[in-house]
């Protein structure tokens, strides 16, 4: 009896490998899908759960609805991040790893595409952008309007299956692309509608396969932009191109709109105030993937954490000392320290390539102790915490000699950058 390519992928060995990869990245995560099961809870009965995944894959796998998680955005808007069940995340990880292993064949590994491909992640994309602007100082930046929510599912699956020459993958890829948000919560349902998300259209953000799907659907755009000789860096739906003049940037805008129009995608208008599509002259900073490409005195460019980005980091860290915010995330004093360590580690990894990344690292170094101290002060009062002996300070995760803090107890990133940015930017 012939075994299909998809059935070969569903072997216990490969399913376990997908789990191991997932667990390494998510063992400290507390997020759950609609079934309420966290990665740690799945791990407690691992053998039984992995056996069940293999069984369901053989019998015809069905994905669960996605749990919608609202995320506040600047300006009072709210976006939705979709969280699959742990079981679904493992299956999608299995599929994503298989597709990326065939990346060259699928056309998703190329000179302009970054993100979600080994060796071509966030840091590589930023470094490439900085390198390109050294030679082409004019910059054109945009992102595709409502990109993920407008991806044509049928075209996506058809292109993928045709390129792979594996029709046995059609059913599982169709099912994955067709995952929808659970709308049983009225608040989530309202946010979904306000974001223009339509059932039956698009691929939901937050799934392990979503970035891979994005790269597949935009591979023809990448290929055509390279054929036009455009110095480009694309990271999902966000891209930046470089040129030697404003006119060249305008030509890039025209080319990109035409190419994306063939795929039924659109870009925000170039002339609109506040548009996400804009052109920056050589002396103008331009932000890309959380860092600014800033001109040095020698006319080269550095990657710099901007004050706005410091403010956003400060706001996120501020939630780590809000008891109400912590309780909403099901955090308590037993796991707060670990959550802080994860957050700090994530920021250090994301911004280590910045010219002023050391400044952020210095700020973050004392954050754990400061945050814990704030929580203790709110619970027991300033006097009680101040009078702790060094033995109890160490036991509670506090520094024996507290750092200088603000009146709220924390020296925030934005406060620190306002003191040190000028000197750092001149280097």
pLDDT in tens, 294-309: 988 887 898 998 888 8
Look at residue 18 and tell me whether its pLDDT is greater than 60.
yes
Report how far Cα 19 is from the mean position of its chain's Cα atoms: 20
Quote the pLDDT of residue 17. 95
| pLDDT above 90: residue 113 | yes
Instruction: Show which of 39, 73, 102 is a domain's final residue.
Output: 102
Q: Where are the alpha helices (DSSP H) in 107-228?
A: 122-135, 153-164, 170-177, 186-194, 210-217, 219-227
The answer as to whether 128 is a domain residue is no
Which run of H or E residues covers position 204?
Answer: none
State the pLDDT confidence band at 153, using cuts at 50, 70 and 90: very high
The verdict on residue 358 lying in a domain is yes
Q: What confidence category does residue 365 fall into, taking pLDDT thresholds of 50, 70 and 90?
A: confident
Residue 415: inside a domain, yes or no?
Answer: no
Query: 386 lies in a domain?
Result: yes
Residue 139 lies in a domain: no
Give the model confidence (pLDDT) of 181-209 as tens digits.
Answer: 999 989 899 999 998 899 999 999 999 99
Residue 168 has pLDDT above 70, yes or no: yes
* Structural domain range at position 359: 307-396
Q: What is the CB neighbour count within 10 angstroms for residue 372?
A: 21
Question: Total domain count for the chain?
Answer: 2
Q: Is 220 domain-assigned? A: no
Please give the model's pTM, rounded to 2 decimal places.
0.79
Please name which of 93, 113, 88 lies closest in space to residue 103, comparing C-alpha atoms: 113
| Residue-by-residue DSSP string for 299-344 | S-EEEE--HHHHHHHHHHHHGGG-HHHHHHTT--HHHHHHHHHHHH
Last residue of one domain, picked from the residues 54, 77, 102: 102
Answer whether residue 14 is part of any domain. yes
Contact 179, 207 (CB under 8 A): yes
Residue 238 lies in a domain: no
């Amino acid at each position: 009896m012939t075994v299909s390519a998809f059935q070969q992928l569903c072997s216990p060995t490969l399913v376990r490998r997908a789990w191991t990869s997932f667990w390494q990245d998510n063992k400290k995560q507390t997020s759950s899908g609609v079934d309420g099961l966290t990665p740690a809870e799945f791990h407690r009965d691992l053998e039984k759960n992995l056996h069940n995944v293999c069984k369901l894959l053989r019998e015809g796998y069905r994905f669960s609805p996605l749990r919608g998680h609202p995320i506040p955005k600047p300006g009072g808007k709210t976006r939705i991040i979709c969280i699959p069940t742990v079981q679904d995340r493992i299956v999608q990880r299995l599929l994503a790893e298989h597709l990326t292993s065939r990346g060259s064949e699928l056309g998703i590994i190329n000179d302009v595409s970054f993100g979600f491909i080994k060796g071509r992640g966030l840091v590589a994309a930023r470094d490439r952008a900085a390198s390109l602007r050294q030679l082409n100082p004019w910059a054109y930046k945009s992102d595709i309007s409502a990109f993920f929510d407008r991806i044509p599912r049928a075209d996506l699956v058809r292109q993928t299956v045709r390129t792979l020459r594996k029709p046995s993958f059609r059913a599982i890829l169709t099912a994955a692309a067709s995952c929808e948000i659970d709308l049983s919560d009225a608040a989530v349902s309202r946010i979904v509608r306000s974001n223009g998300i339509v059932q039956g259209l698009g691929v939901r953000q937050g799934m392990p396969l979503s970035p891979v799907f994005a790269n597949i659907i935009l591979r023809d755009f990448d290929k055509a932009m390279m054929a036009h000789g455009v110095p480009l860096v694309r990271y999902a739906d966000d891209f930046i191109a470089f040129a030697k003049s404003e006119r060249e940037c305008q030509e890039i805008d025209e080319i990109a709109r035409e190419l994306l129009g063939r795929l039924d995608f659109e870009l925000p208008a170039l002339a609109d105030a506040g548009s996400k599509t804009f052109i920056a002259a050589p002396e103008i900073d331009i932000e890309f993937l959380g860092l600014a490409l800033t001109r040095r005195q020698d006319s080269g460019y550095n990657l710099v954490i901007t004050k706005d980005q410091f403010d956003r980091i400060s706001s996120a860290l501020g939630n780590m000392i809000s008891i109400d915010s912590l309780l909403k995330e099901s955090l308590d004093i037993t796991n707060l320290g670990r959550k802080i360590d994860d957050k700090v580690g994530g920021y250090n990894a994301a911004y280590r390539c910045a010219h002023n990344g050391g400044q952020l690292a210095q700020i973050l170094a004392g954050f754990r102790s400061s945050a814990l101290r704030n929580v203790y002060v709110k619970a027991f009062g300033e006097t009680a915490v101040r009078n702790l002996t060094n033995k109890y300070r160490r036991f509670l995760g506090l520094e024996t000699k507290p750092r200088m803090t603000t009146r709220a107890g924390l020296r925030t990133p934005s406060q620190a950058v306002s003191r040190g940015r000028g000197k750092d930017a001149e280097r």
